[in-house]
DNA sequence: TTACCTGCAAATAGTTTGCAACCCT
DNA sequence: AGGGTTGCAAACTATTTGCAGGTAA
């Protein structure tokens, strides 16, 4: 992701372009596996040692609010952040902290059709997210 | 749920039967909508004013560990507890704190068949949970 | 200019821990 | 009797808040 692209994204959402916001957004694009706030802070401080913890949280909230990133809640006690904001599912490793995004249009379509037909009594569905728990298998 | 049934459940899991544990388990069965630790503490203190907060958390952990209850993580900052331990999905109200259990064998079967056939590369599925977000509609 | 941002330090709040006393089995 | 449990207070920790000074537009 180029700096100019990040600038554009911020501007489009009506957020002022600051070095902190640039660095944080760049960090989330660079780090994989859904970084925690701590991961992001560590990453940024390498090149930007004076950034305050509270600033990172404030920026993350702002970015989340504007839909530039997504918060992902885990079973552990911290948020993780995802640069992919399109609706998608998650694969959770049952033995490690690894999380991967999972997209499957066919699945979405199947679920949509299923609930369209069957519905849920007294409930209007807005969104369906799958948490798929299992084990990642390293290929040989 | 009768006290003797609760006793049996505790004993079966190798947990000593104490008044605190009885009260906590009874509270979770009585309270609906997936109570928080706080909800449980308030409920119990009516008849059991001296129970310590830490005890409640310790008991909840023990019950969760033994599979008598289930922890449910929400987007907000606290755990909620569920007396239903069988695998099931959750309906989340997008505007309130309401959560309901959702069971659908046909759906489970459809998902099982779908992934059995399609699979996910480098991933062995162990469990699938749906978070269905939307709005509860009060019937007229 | 000025409304929005940042940094710092202190606060928050749900949950956990250490340990002595207690009490089920 | 004795090991699991409880109660209390203090600790923990991720995240938030208040506010003074800074900075992007």
Q: Is residue B41 situated within a structural domain?
A: yes
Cβ–Cβ under 8 Å, residues A90 and A132: yes
Chain A residue numbers with beta carbons less than 8 Å from the beta carbon of B128 are: 130-133
Examine the domain organization and report whether A26 and A78 are in the same domain: yes
For residue B89, count other CB atoms closer than 10 A to its CB. Answer: 19
Residues ≥6 apart with Cβ < 8 Å to B117:
none
Contacts 24+ apart (CB under 8 A), A61-69: A62/A15, A62/A21, A63/A15, A63/A21, A63/A24, A63/A25, A66/A13, A66/A14, A66/A15, A67/A13, A68/A9, A68/A10, A68/A13, A68/A25, A69/A25, A69/A28
pLDDT of residue B106: 96
* B140 lies in some domain: no
pLDDT per position as a tens digit, B41-58: 999 999 999 999 999 999
Q: A117 at the B interface (CB within 8 A)?
A: no
Spell out the residues 6+ positions from residue A76 whose beta carbon is closer than 8 angstroms to its own: A97
Asked if pLDDT for residue B140 goes beyond 80, the answer is no
d(CA B93, CA B103): 16
Helices (H), A31-87: 37-45, 53-65
Residues in chain A closer than 8 A to B126 (CB atoms): 94, 133-135
Q: Are residues A9 and A77 in the same domain?
A: yes
- pLDDT over threshold 80, residue B74: no
> CATH code at A18?
1.10.10.10
In a domain, A139, yes or no: no
- Shared domain for A104 and A120, answered yes or no, is yes
Nearest Cβ partner for B129 among A74, A110, A131: A131
Q: Residue B76: what pLDDT? A: 67
pLDDT score, position B37 = 95
Protein residue nearest nucleotide C7, by CA to C1':
A52
Question: Cβ of residue A16 near strand C, that is under 7 Å?
Answer: yes
Using a CB–CB cutoff of 8 Å, tell me whether B132 touches chain A: yes
**Interchain pair B133, A135: CB under 8 A:** no
Is A69 among the domain residues? yes
User: Around A127, how many Cα atoms within 13 Å sit in the side-chain half-sphere?
Assistant: 10
Q: Are residue B54 and residue B25 in the same domain, yes or no?
A: yes
What pLDDT was estimated at residue B79?
87
Q: Does B10 share its domain with B65?
A: yes
Question: How far A118 CA lies from chain B's nearest CA (Å)?
Answer: 10
Pair (A12, A70) in one structural domain: yes
Give the residue from B73, B74, B23, B21 showing the smallest Cα distance to B47. B23
CA dihedral over A80, A83, A89, A93, signed as positive or negative:
negative
Query: Mean pLDDT over residues B32-37, rounded?
Result: 89
Distances (CA, A) of B79 to A100, A118, B86, B133: 23, 31, 18, 18
Given an 8 Å threshold on Cβ–Cβ distance, is B133 in contact with A127? yes
Separation in Å: D8 C1' and B19 CA? 18
Please indicate, yes or no, whether residues A27 and A50 belong to a single structural domain of this protein: yes
Same domain, B7 and B75: yes
CA of residue B79 to C1' of nucleotide C25, angstroms: 32
Q: How far apart are CA B28 and CA A91, in angstroms?
A: 30
Residue A31 at interface with chain B, using a CB cutoff of 8 Å: no
Overall number of domains in chain A: 2
Domain that holds residue A128: 89-134
Q: Is B11 within the bounds of a domain?
A: yes
The pLDDT value given to residue B36: 94
The verdict on residue B36 lying in a domain is: yes
Asked if A91 reaches chain B (Cβ–Cβ under 8 Å), the answer is yes
Query: pLDDT in tens for each of the 140 residues of chain A?
Result: 899 999 999 999 999 999 999 999 999 999 978 999 999 999 999 999 999 999 999 999 999 999 999 988 776 668 899 998 888 999 999 888 888 999 999 999 999 999 999 999 999 999 999 999 999 998 66
Tell if the CB–CB gap between B131 and A126 is shorter than 8 Å: no
* B-chain residues near A126 (CB < 8 A): 94, 133-135
Q: Quick one: B42 and B62 in the same domain?
A: yes
According to DSSP, the residues that pair with A82 across neighbouring strands are A70
B31 and B77 housed in the same domain? yes
Residues in B touching A124 (Cβ below 8 Å): 134-135, 137
Q: What is the pLDDT of residue A132?
A: 94
**Domain's final residue, options B82, B102, B120:** B82
In this structure, what token pair is assigned to residue B76?
Answer: 């907000």
Q: What average pLDDT does this structure show over B7-24? A: 96
We report the CATH number of the domain holding residue A111 as 3.30.1490
Residue A140 placed within a domain: no
Opening angle at CA A70, ends A67 and A76, nearest 5 = 160
Give yes or no for residue B104 having a pLDDT over 80. yes
Q: Which residue in chain A has the smallest CA separation from B132?
A: A128
For B5-43, letters b (16+ CB in 10 Å) and e give ebeebbeeeebeeeebbbbbbbbbeebeebbbbebbbeb
A66/A33 same-domain check: yes
Both tokens of residue A132?
């798929």
pLDDT at position A75 is: 67
Q: Measured between CA atoms, how close is A106 to chain B, in angstroms?
A: 10
B118 shares its domain with B94: yes
In this structure, is the CB of residue B39 within 7 Å of any atom belonging to strand C?
A: no
The verdict on residue B139 lying in a domain is: no
């Amino acid at each position: 992701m180029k700096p100019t692209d990040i600038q554009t994204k911020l501007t489009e959402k009506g957020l002022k372009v600051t070095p902190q916001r640039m660095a944080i957004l760049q960090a989330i694009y660079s780090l994989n596996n859904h970084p925690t706030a701590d991961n992001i802070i560590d990453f940024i401080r390498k090149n930007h040692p004076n950034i305050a913890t509270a600033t990172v949280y404030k920026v993350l909230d702002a970015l989340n609010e504007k839909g530039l990133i997504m918060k992902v809640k885990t079973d552990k006690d911290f948020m993780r952040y995802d640069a992919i904001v399109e609706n998608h599912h998650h694969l959770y490793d049952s033995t490690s902290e690894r999380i991967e995004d999972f997209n499957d249009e066919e699945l979405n379509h199947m679920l949509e059709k299923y609930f369209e037909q069957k519905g849920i009594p007294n409930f209007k569905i807005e969104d369906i997210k799958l948490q798929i728990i299992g084990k990642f298998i390293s290929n040989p």
